[in-house]
Every structure is written in structure tokens, then in C-alpha cells.
Structure 1
Amino acid sequence: MNHVVIIGRLTRDPELRYIPGTGTAVASCSIAVDRDYTKKDGTKETDFIPFEIMGKPAEYTANYLNKGRLVAIQGSVRFDRYIDQNTNEAKTYAKIAAKNIESLESNKSKETGGNNKEFEPSFEPPQGLDPQGFTAIDDDDIPF
């Protein structure tokens, strides 16, 4: 089974092109994903993973997602081969063939750096309740 889900930030604005003959949209970009461990000096390493997405999701990606946006990508790992023109050697590289992409933050939170106070809930407990919203009850009131 070849299935991958990755969450990270776009490293650049996606590039949109169309396949000649079919006119199918293809968007390409890369996503920055932190590794899940921290080095002894407290830093994390980041992988920059290229991906391509086709069809309507490609047009959405190119039109509405931009550099720095937090996204989730679902797809499969693909290996492409090519001949290096300088050395005439066969090279292989991996990329994600994405089927779905989803933005994990709104435009407003992206514009304000994720600190949009407008969407932070404010909570005031009703009269007679403690801050967690519970009232004291007597053990005799418990039916078990």
C-alpha cells in the first residue's frame, strides 16, 4: 500500500501548468515538514518534500494557497527518473503525487500571523458556577 498524509507549510507559491493536448491542470510546489525529533542542541531538522497535484485540486492550490500556508496533503510517493544532461547519469528523485490538499488555516489567521483575536472565544461562567462550570452537589443527591 502506498499512501501518505503530510502536514507542513508550503515553501513557495505553487506553480500551475497545463498538460498539452489534454489541458489537465498540474500544480507543483514543495512542503516543509519538521522531523519528529529534536537534536541535542534543541533544533529540529526540516525536510522539503516536492509534490504535484492534478485537476481541479491543482487549480485550487495555485489560486488560493501561497507560500507559508499550513496544509495537509494526501497522496502517494512516486519516484521519477531522468538523465542528468551534465553528467549523462541516470538520477532518481521522490515526490508526492497528491490527490487531495487542504488548508489548515484561514486567510485571516494567515494574514495576522495566526494571532487573530477576533476568533478567540471569551468565556464568562454563569452566575453561581465555578470557573469550570460545575456546581457543588451533596453526596446524597447522587443516585448510585
Structure 2
Amino acid sequence: MNNTVLVGRLCKDPELRYIPGSGTPVATFTLAIDRDYKNKDGSTTTDFIPVEVMGKPAEFCANYITKGRLVGIQGSIRVDRYETPNGEKRNFTKVAGRNIQALDYANDDKGGNPKFEPSGSVGSSEFNSIDDDDVPF
């Protein structure tokens, strides 16, 4: 079984590319994740985990996820093996993400305040006033 779940912050905006031939979108980025313990001096160690997401989740990342955002990733560990031009064999470990979810709000462009983007607009005529005496609890 190869399943991993990570929660961390993006180190920089995702890079989006498309696979030649198929046109499948691929987003790559790095997550910064603090370890759950402190060192003797009281500091925490941060791990930087490379992540690759393909398909519709990659387009979501490119359009809505930016540097500093807190995200949850579900996927699997992948080890790519390659050979350098000098003939050295190398391994590169990454997370192949299947699902991604933003866990915080995006900041607005002006003051850094969180902005909430509802899925639909709510007009004032949709609210009905309720007398507190009519509420059963």
C-alpha cells in the first residue's frame, strides 16, 4: 500500500506544463512541512517535499493555489531513477498527488486580508426575519 497525506504550505506558486502529445496538465510545487517535534534548542525542523499533480487537480493548483497557501494533498510516494550525463545513477523522490484541497482562504491583493468567495450570490431579499420567541431552542 502506497498512500500518503500531507498538510503544508506552498514554497512558491505552482509551475504548470502540459505533456506533449496528450496535452495533460501537470503542476509541480514544493510543500514546506514542519516536523511535529522541537529540537533541543526549541526550534523546529522543516521538510521541503516536492509534489507533482496531474489532470484537473493540476489546473486547480495553477488557478487557485499560490505561494504560502495551506493545502492538504493525498497521493503516493514515487521514486524516479535517472542517469546523469556523467553516468552517475540518481534517485529523486516526490509525491504524486491525486487530490488537493485548499485549507485556508486566499488573501486579497490590497491589504493581505482574507477574502471569502461564496459559491453563489446571496441577495438581501433571501433573508427572512425571525422573531426570537418563535425559535424552539
- The normalised TM-score by structure 2 is 0.78
Structure 1 unaligned segments of length 5 or more: list them: 117-144
Alpha-carbon distance in 1 for matches of 2:84, 2:32 = 25
Task: For residue 109 of structure 1, report the CA deviation from its aligned partner.
Answer: 8.1
3-state SS of paired residue (1:34): strand
Alpha-carbon distance in 1 for matches of 2:76, 2:66 = 22
Q: Which has the higher strand share?
A: 2
Alpha-carbon distance in 1 for matches of 2:51, 2:31 = 8
Larger Rg: 1
Structure 1 residue aligned with 2:55 = 55
Alpha-carbon distance in 1 for matches of 2:12, 2:40 = 30
Root mean square deviation, CA, Å: 1.7
3-state SS of paired residue (1:61): helix
Task: For residue 79 of structure 1, report the CA deviation from its aligned partner.
Answer: 0.2
3-state SS of paired residue (2:49): strand
3-state SS of paired residue (1:58): helix
Structure 1 residue aligned with 2:70 = 70
Alpha-carbon distance in 1 for matches of 2:95, 2:23 = 21
The one-character-per-residue Cα deviations of 1:7-38 (angstroms, maximum 9, x if unpaired) are 00001110000001111000000100111110
Counterpart AA for 2:103: L
- The normalised TM-score by structure 1 is 0.74
Counterpart AA for 2:18: Y
Structure 2 residue aligned with 1:98 = 97
Task: For residue 63 of structure 1, report the CA deviation from its aligned partner.
Answer: 1.0
3-state SS of paired residue (2:71): strand
Task: For residue 88 of structure 1, report the CA deviation from its aligned partner.
Answer: 2.1
3-state SS of paired residue (1:68): coil
Task: For residue 82 of structure 1, report the CA deviation from its aligned partner.
Answer: 1.2
- The alpha-carbon distance between structure 1 residues 109 and 71, as it changes in their structure 2 partners (threshold 3 A), is farther
3-state SS of paired residue (1:22): coil
Q: How does 1:1-144 map to 2 (within 5 A)?
A: 1-85=1-85, 87-108=86-107, 111-112=112-113
- The alpha-carbon distance between structure 1 residues 21 and 75, as it changes in their structure 2 partners (threshold 3 A), is same
- The alpha-carbon distance between structure 1 residues 18 and 105, as it changes in their structure 2 partners (threshold 3 A), is same
Alpha-carbon distance in 2 for matches of 1:29, 1:36 = 22
Alpha-carbon distance in 2 for matches of 1:83, 1:69 = 34
Using the aligned pairs only, state the percent identity. Answer: 54
